Amino acid sequence: MKTTEMTGRTVDEAIENALKELNVKPDQIEIEVLEEPSKGFLGILGSKLAKVKITIKENPIELTIEFLQPILTKLGVAPEVKTRIEGDYYYLSFHGHKLGLMIGHRGETLDALQYLSNLAVNRKTKNHAHIILDVENYRKKREETLNRLARKLAEKAKKTGRRVMLEPMSPHERRIIHTALQDDQEVDTFSEGKEPYRKVVISLK
């Protein structure tokens, strides 16, 4: 993290000087007051300026892009990145050509990139950030597909009277299945098996 020390006649002036020099906004910095101002003899001799230490906060989105850039270069892609922030959640959505390599089989590569991005970013930030990666709205499309699958297999369980076992899924995708059927009064859902082969089971109540 970049730090600098700045002085001023008052603490506020010292902070203002630092903001101008670093060209940052107040919410982008952390402030530590090193010395309070004091007046010397007759208000002149021996007077001391205020001194503050300014630390620029790491930007989770910039850190994520910095971490992913060498990987994207290796993959041979140069996507456009759209970002948004909601509280502690930082969303990065990638758009462009030939981005299937970023998604992988049923999102496995995308999940891996997201997991590694969270590790890399949170090693450098004080406040815990949640990094969410998406490619061409894949996550929304996948969620819609899983919702349809959940309803279809729930009907199969009702018709056959037998429990239905889905293929192994990530914790996030299993949660989508559970949520899709949580209000269905005729079926229950639960997970069984060990990671990474844990599966959702749909059974009659």
Q: What are the tens digits of pLDDT across the range 145-167?
A: 999 999 999 999 999 999 999 99
Whether the Cβ atoms of residue 133 and residue 164 lie closer than 8 Å to each other: no
> What mean pLDDT comes out for the span 168-193?
94
> What mean pLDDT comes out for the span 116-138?
90
With a pLDDT cut of 90, the percent of the chain lying above it is: 58
Whether the Cβ atoms of residue 154 and residue 184 lie closer than 8 Å to each other: yes
Domain at 60-136: CATH code = 3.30.300.20
Residue 41 has pLDDT above 70, yes or no: no
Question: What is the full DSSP assignment across 123-182?
Answer: TT-SS--EEEEEETTHHHHHHHHHHHHHHHHHHHHHHH-S-EEPPP--HHHHHHHHHHHT
Neighbouring CB atoms inside 10 A of 65's CB total: 15
For residue 97, report the phi and psi dihedrals to the nearest 5 degrees: -100, 150
> What mean pLDDT comes out for the span 157-186?
94
How crowded is the C-beta side of 81, counted as CA atoms within 13 Å?
A: 17
Residue 88 has pLDDT above 70, yes or no: yes
Residue 45 has pLDDT above 60, yes or no: no
Neighbouring CB atoms inside 10 A of 157's CB total: 21
For residue 59, report the phi and psi dihedrals to the nearest 5 degrees: -95, 115
What count of residues does the chain have?
205
CATH topology (fold) of 140-204: Ribosomal Protein S8; Chain: A, domain 1 (3.30.1370)
State the pLDDT at residue 1.
61
DSSP code for 87:
T
Nearest CA to 120 among 131, 109, 110? 131
Neighbouring CB atoms inside 10 A of 177's CB total: 23
Could you tell me the pTM of the whole model?
Answer: 0.69
What six digits make up the tokens of 73? Answer: 């270069």
The more confidently predicted of residues 127 and 144 is: 144
CA distance 112 to 172: 13
Sign of CA dihedral 106, 108, 113, 119: positive
Q: What is the pLDDT of residues 110-125, one digit of tens each?
A: 999 999 999 999 988 8
State the pLDDT at residue 4.
81
DSSP code for 43:
T
DSSP code for 23:
T
What six digits make up the tokens of 86? Answer: 């909601």
Residue 55 has pLDDT above 70, yes or no: yes
Domain ranges of the chain: 3-56, 60-136, 140-204
